[in-house]
Amino acid sequence: MKLEGKKAIVTGVSKGIGLETVKLLLKKNVIVAGWGRTQPDLQHDNFTFVVCDVSQEKAVEKAYEETKEAIGDDISILVNNAGFGKMGKIEEMSTEDWKGMFDVNVHGIFFVTKKVVPKMKQMDEGHIINVASIAGLNGLASMSGYCGTKHAVRGISHSLYMELREFGIKVSTIYPGSVQTNFFDDIEGVQAHENMMRPEDVALTMVQTIETHPNYFVADIECRPLRPKGK
């Protein structure tokens, strides 16, 4: 897709991968509506921030209407990046955290994609990227809830691709390994460090995927740090 003048919605833009994706899209002259709970430190003529908690369907509907008013509804690019994770043994995991992960990571993708797809079908063009995790490809101890949500993202993405390909809509999934973000803040004994991947590199991979030829489709992207423990 040629990005010049296209319009995009990116969720989870307050920091990390979402914010870096917005910055790269803006450099490509894309008009971006960034959805998130907290406004990022970013000012640009082609950027509109919209407050949204994607786990709440009414909040998504409101954010979509605000986006339509600000930049229009001809959205060609959707990056479902918003995510939430908690680590813990199954008997110690709170029901609130378990449900919270599914509400953001799974139901959020449903709520947002449901609003954007009808117009993409009319335009016969679109690219949806769902941000999963290597946790969506493997099982990890003390991360059963998070892994469950990311496995769900994989299944949703593959099914949506089969459903939407005839309308010229691509659905890709990216599975990053450990990234230098605040994801690890709530995980005891683990901190983000320089041997993890940089969020801007994950963002670049997604933007390059969006830029591929209209008849060239990348389904899954697995990316990992080369030396996660250093030399």
Q: What is the 3-state secondary structure (H, E, C) of the chain?
A: CCCCCCEEEEECCCCHHHHHHHHHHHHCCCEEEEEECCCCCCCCCCEEEEECCCCCHHHHHHHHHHHHHHHCCCCCEEEECCCCCCCCCCCCCCHHHHHHHHHHHHHHHHHHHHHHHHHHHHHCCEEEEEECCHHHCCCCCCCHHHHHHHHHHHHHHHHHHHHHHHHCEEEEEEEECCECCHHHHHCCCCCCCCCCECHHHHHHHHHHHHCCCCCCCCCEEEECCCCCCCC
**Residue 216 known to be catalytic:** no
Candidate list 146, 161, 175, 216, residue with the active-site label = 146
Residues assigned a catalytic role: 146
